[in-house]
Each structure stands twice: as structure tokens, then as C-alpha cells.
Amino acid sequence: MSFKLLDDRIKKLIKEKGFLDPSPAQKLAIEPIIKERNILLISSTGLGKTEACLLPLFHKLLNEKNSPISVLYITPLKSLNRDLEERMMWWCKKIGLTISVRHGDTSRIERVAQKEMPPNILVTTPESLGALLVGKKMREHLKNVKCVVIDEIHEIVGSKRGIQLSLLLERLAMITENKFQRIGLSATVGSPELVANFLQGSGEKVNVIRAEGDKKYSIKVENPIPTAKDMINADQLFIGTRTYARLKRIEEIMKSQKSVLVFTNTRETAEVISSRLHTIDKELKQSVHHGSLSKEKRISSEKGFKKEELKALVATSSLELGIDIGSIDMVVQYLSSRQVTRLIQRIGRAGHKLGETSNGILLSGEEDLFESAAIAQALMKRKLEQIKIHDLALDVLTSQIIGILFDEYEITEDRLYKIISSAYPYRNLKKGHLSELLNFLEAIYLIWIQRNSLSNIIKRRKKCFDYYFTNLTMISDSQKYKVISIIQNEPVGSLDEAFVSEHGKTGEKFIFSGRAWKIIQVDEKKVIVEPIEDIESAIPAWIGELIPVSYEKQMIIS
């Protein structure tokens, strides 16, 4: 029934794609989206929630009068933007719609094109939306937005990026006069009503649609015991004996399966695993994938894996979300995932089709065996962590107050309070607390306050511009050095300044992108390197990777 509601041009393409029957997500979501209802669509990985959202939006764009930009599609990762653009482009080219992507890596030429010839659909990130809202021309285009989609909303609700996005949506509501439809796409979460409230803000009620189906998981918790031979081999690889035993088990799994995705909690661990596996078996076609590798390296690995040129990828959360990398037979979680929500996302990448079982193995150690078992058991019982929101975050609020003053040169304190308190994380903000913050911002010369008996008028000062654009992101930042291979003359990725300060000397060696490199030169935020064979090389570390374990899981384990 749901496909019958769509435009004939879309139905023709559905047949071309080979979609025989709508998935549970498509059955439940297509009609409410066409009817412009606000929804939160919750679905397990691989059950078609992206198409469940896009197909009715394509239908509406084809059959209603629209001005660019009509649909704003927000994702938490730049890599998801790229992946979505490729998937959407096929549909858009066939039915005559336009789509474009905007994020920090978008070239100046593309930005000018988006400004002069805006697309029907703009795919972006929260940070880029913050920049777009204060651009004179793009702000005019954003007045046309009729629908905002937030993909993988579960990924950001509990972070300050989510808090920032909640206020950005209220700023967008200001210029569209609150006329846009709100759609959230989420994996299985422990607090669906809270996510729905977060998405609603000043808009109409958000209806929760659960389309998780009867998703089946098969999970084993293993603790490989090392042999006497493992002790000798471990010394040669400069790793612990139990680490070597786990690596051998990963090698066995990779050789016994067609395609394997190995998840680690840190980029440092991913580099260790990939580089040591390369030493153990140079014929094993595997690669490493994480956010500090260059875009070119990541795309190459994703395409190689999808085409089955690579048998396995060792990844961090960079592949946890729905990037299309094809069919996966087995997911291995290296040591505890720390969270049930994270594990269900990762294991769900295997058996990525309706009706298939997601197979996963948790390779634990003595130090986290009970934790891994507790998390695996909680997953099987679908006991996911409750999401906690950073209510009343003042650093995020400050940057968005400045943003609002760019949207409108001056604003009354009463109107400012109404906009801010409409965002769910600021629902409990007291007027007096906002006044205290505004007085502080005036004291540090960010704003003017014109006081009167009715409602104070707030105006921006010159310092606002620098402050706003240096605080566009809530992602923890550190100085980065680009790593450039002297052989291919292409970027390998980036290193944190702390690692370069300690190891960034000519002749020093380190492991990166799953292999060893020697530093030739360090110059102006660039590290020029050449490939070598040396397993003793240092392993880089990156800031901000530790995953917390919830209080509830700590109680179970203890």
C-alpha cells in the first residue's frame, strides 16, 4: 500500500531498484511523511529507514510547488554526507531533482554554486548549518525549507553537538516562521520519547514510529587463551601475549568469512591491530579505517571492501553509522564496546538486510570479560542505556545567542528567551539566569544591552564575528598536522599536535594507516613521510576517544 501512494516516476524506479515489497519502516513512515506529520522513525540497521524517508520527500518535491532549498538533510558525519549524496544522486538524476552537500570540506567553487543555484535538497552537518544561517544569501534560501531531516539523531542527542542543533533548529524556525516538517531517523535507542521531545522543540508533536521488525542477533563472547608459542610470537611483535591470542583469533575469523568488520574503541587500537595483522599475514587483504585518515584513504578502503577487493576492515566509530560498504558476514568487537547502544549499532552492520541475522563476536580480555558478557546479555534482552541530555549548557547557549544576533541585528530579551526556551535542552531555563548570562556577555564586550522598563534590547558588538566563527563546532579540537607520503605525494591523514611534539623529528618512525612510516621533514603543519618496514614504530594517540560506561552497567558488573 505505501508504494502505491508515490508518484508513478518513483514507482518505476522502485521496480528498477528491485524493491519488491516495502520494508516495515517504509510501510509505516511513507504515508505520515506525505501528510507532513512530524515523526521519529526508529529502525534497526539495514531495514530501509533512509528510503522510507526519502521516497515520500521525493514524491512531495515532484508534486508540490517548491523553491530551493526545500529539504534540509542533516547528518552527524561528513562521510555520511558523501555516502548519502551518492545514494540520493541516482534517484535525483532519474526524476529531475537537484541535490548538493555542504560541510567543512566543500570547495569554494561548490559553495558559490550553492549560493547562486541552490539545490532542491541540501545535505549538511550541524556545524555547517550554523555557518549557513548567518550567510546573507544562503539565509534567504533557507527561508524556503519545508522539511528538516536529522539522520542518525541518536548519535548526537546526548552530546553538546545535539544541544547546538536544537538551538539551530529554533533559529531556522525563526526565519521559516516555524513552517517546516521535522523528521528524525534513529537506530534502536533506550529513550525514544526523550528523542522525540528533543526533535519537537517549538514544532508540532513528534510521533514515534517503531519499525524495528524482528531483528535477530547472534553474539558470542570469547576470551582467547594464549599458548606457549603465542608468548614467543607476541615478543616479536612487541605486544602482550593475550593481545597476540586475540589477533590470531581475528585472523582465523577473517579467513573463515567472506567479509568481516572489526570494531575497536580507539584509533590507536585500530592501528595496532591492522599493522600487526599485516606482519602476521601479508597476504591477508585488510585495511584500517578511522576519522584521522585522509578522505582519499577512507574512500579507497570503503570502495575496496564493497567490491570485495578487501576481505576486512578494522574500524572505529567511523563505520558505526549507515555508510554503504556492502554486505558484511561477521562483526568483531575488540574488547568491550562499553555501551549496549554502541554494540547493537556495530553488530547490526552484519546481516544488513531484512530477515537476516546479525552475527557478532566480542573478543574480550581478562580485564573486561564480565563487562563484555553483561553488555552482550543486555543487548539480547534489548536493555539499552537511557539517553541523558546536557541541559542548560551555557557555552553552547552563548555561541547561539551571538548567532541569533547575526540573524537579527537586535532582539528584545523577552523574544530571545522565547526562542531559547523552545529548544528542549533549555525548557527549564529561568529568565533570571538568562539575564545573568547576558550581563556577563556585556561585561566581556560581546554584546550591548539597552535597558528599559519593558524588555531590554540586545545588540551585537564587533567581537561577535570572531567569537561566533571560532565556536561553530562543539567537537573537541586540537591542532592537526597533515601527514603526506613522499612516494605518492598524497595525504595519508592527520596527527594531533601532542604526538608530533613528542615524535615529530626527522628519522622518527610511527605506525599510521596500518603500516610504518619514517619522518623525512616536519614543516608548517605538515609531516612528510616515506613508507618503511618496522614493527617497533610508535603508535599515535588521538584526543577524545574514550567511551564511558553507564552507571547501570557498572552496577551489573560490580
Query: Which residues, including other chains, have CB under 8 Å from residue 528's CB and lie 6 or more apart?
Result: 484, 486, 519, 520, 521, 522
Is residue 553 predicted with pLDDT exceeding 80?
Answer: no
Topology given in CATH for the domain delimited by 400-469: Arc Repressor Mutant, subunit A (1.10.10)
Q: What CATH architecture applies to the domain 3-210?
A: 3-Layer(aba) Sandwich (3.40)
pLDDT at 363: 96
Contact 326, 83 (CB under 8 A): no
pLDDT at 76: 86
User: Of all residues in the chain, what percent carry a pLDDT higher than 70?
Assistant: 94
Is residue 134 predicted with pLDDT exceeding 90?
Answer: yes
3-class DSSP assignment, residue 56: helix
pLDDT at 404: 95
Confidence (pTM): 0.86
Q: Where are the domains of the chain?
A: 3-210, 216-380, 400-469, 480-532
What grid cell was written down for 484?
Answer: 603526506
Q: In whole angstroms, what is the distance from residue 221 CA to residue 225 CA?
A: 13
By CB atoms closer than 10 A (0-12, 13-18, 19+), residue 107 is exposed
Is residue 322 predicted with pLDDT exceeding 70?
Answer: no
pLDDT at 144: 94
What grid cell was written down for 442?
Answer: 556585556
Is residue 547 predicted with pLDDT exceeding 70?
Answer: no
In this structure, what are the phi and psi dihedrals at residue 275, rounded to the nearest 5 degrees?
-65, -40
Q: Class assignment of domain 216-380?
A: alpha beta
pLDDT (mean) for 123-143: 93
* 297 Rama sector, left if φ>0, alpha if ψ -120 to 50, beta otherwise: alpha
Note whether 3-210 and 400-469 share their fold: no
Cα–Cα distance list, 264 to 226, 269, 323, 342, 386 (Å): 20, 6, 17, 11, 23
pLDDT at 81: 66
Mean residue pLDDT across the chain: 89
Which of 413, 43, 42, 429 minimizes the C-alpha distance to 206? 42
pLDDT tens-place string over residues 437-486: 999 999 999 999 999 878 899 999 999 999 999 888 887 666 789 999 99
pLDDT at 548: 56
Is residue 245 predicted with pLDDT exceeding 60?
Answer: yes
pLDDT tens-place string over residues 393-443: 999 999 999 999 998 889 999 999 999 999 999 999 999 999 999 999 999
The least confident of 253-257, 315-319, 350-354 is 350-354
pLDDT at 119: 95
Is residue 127 predicted with pLDDT exceeding 80?
Answer: yes
300 or 81: which leads in pLDDT: 300
pLDDT interval class at 250 (50, 70, 90): very high
pLDDT interval class at 549 (50, 70, 90): low
pLDDT at 46: 67
pLDDT tens-place string over residues 175-209: 997 789 999 999 888 899 999 999 999 999 999 99
